[in-house]
Amino acid sequence: MARADLVRHQLLLPRDSSERLETVARGPGASRSRILAAALAAFLGRKGADEIELRFMARLDRISNQLARIERNGQVEPERLALFVRYMLTVNAPLALVPEDAQ
């Protein structure tokens, strides 16, 4: 990034955060400015996400799971009824037909 694209800011950090930043910045290829810029970009990127989606994501997942369960049960019920009817027709003896003349 060109120096002309950068804007200078002055920050006040708590002492423990400042010490941790200094420790991380001592590493090769790291600088306080790059670390703070990356952290700020990540923070602002997360805040810029769709708030409604973040807020209701767990609830939408739960509703989706409930709908999937209802759909599964809707597919199982006709098969369950068919098995019951087949069982009842197999177990029960057929009714004898009475001719109309015998009545």
Q: What is the pLDDT of residues 75-101, one digit of tens each?
A: 999 999 999 999 999 998 888 888 777
- Domain membership of residue 99 (yes or no) is no
Predicted pLDDT of residue 15: 92
Same domain for 44 and 59?
Answer: no
Same domain for 63 and 85?
Answer: yes
Predicted pLDDT of residue 49: 62
Same domain for 60 and 41?
Answer: no
Q: What is the pLDDT of residues 35-63, one digit of tens each?
A: 888 888 887 777 656 667 777 888 888 99
Query: Domain span at residue 80?
Result: 50-91
List Cα–Cα distances, 90 to 10, 83, 85, 86, 93, in angstroms: 86, 10, 9, 6, 8
Predicted pLDDT of residue 30: 84
Handedness of CA 17, 19, 24, 25 (dihedral sign): positive
Same domain for 67 and 37?
Answer: no
- Domain membership of residue 29 (yes or no) is yes
Interval 15-21 mean pLDDT? 90
In the DSSP assignment, the letter for residue 101 is: G
Same domain for 55 and 72?
Answer: yes
Return d(Cα 99, Cα 103) in angstroms, integer.
7
- Domain membership of residue 57 (yes or no) is yes
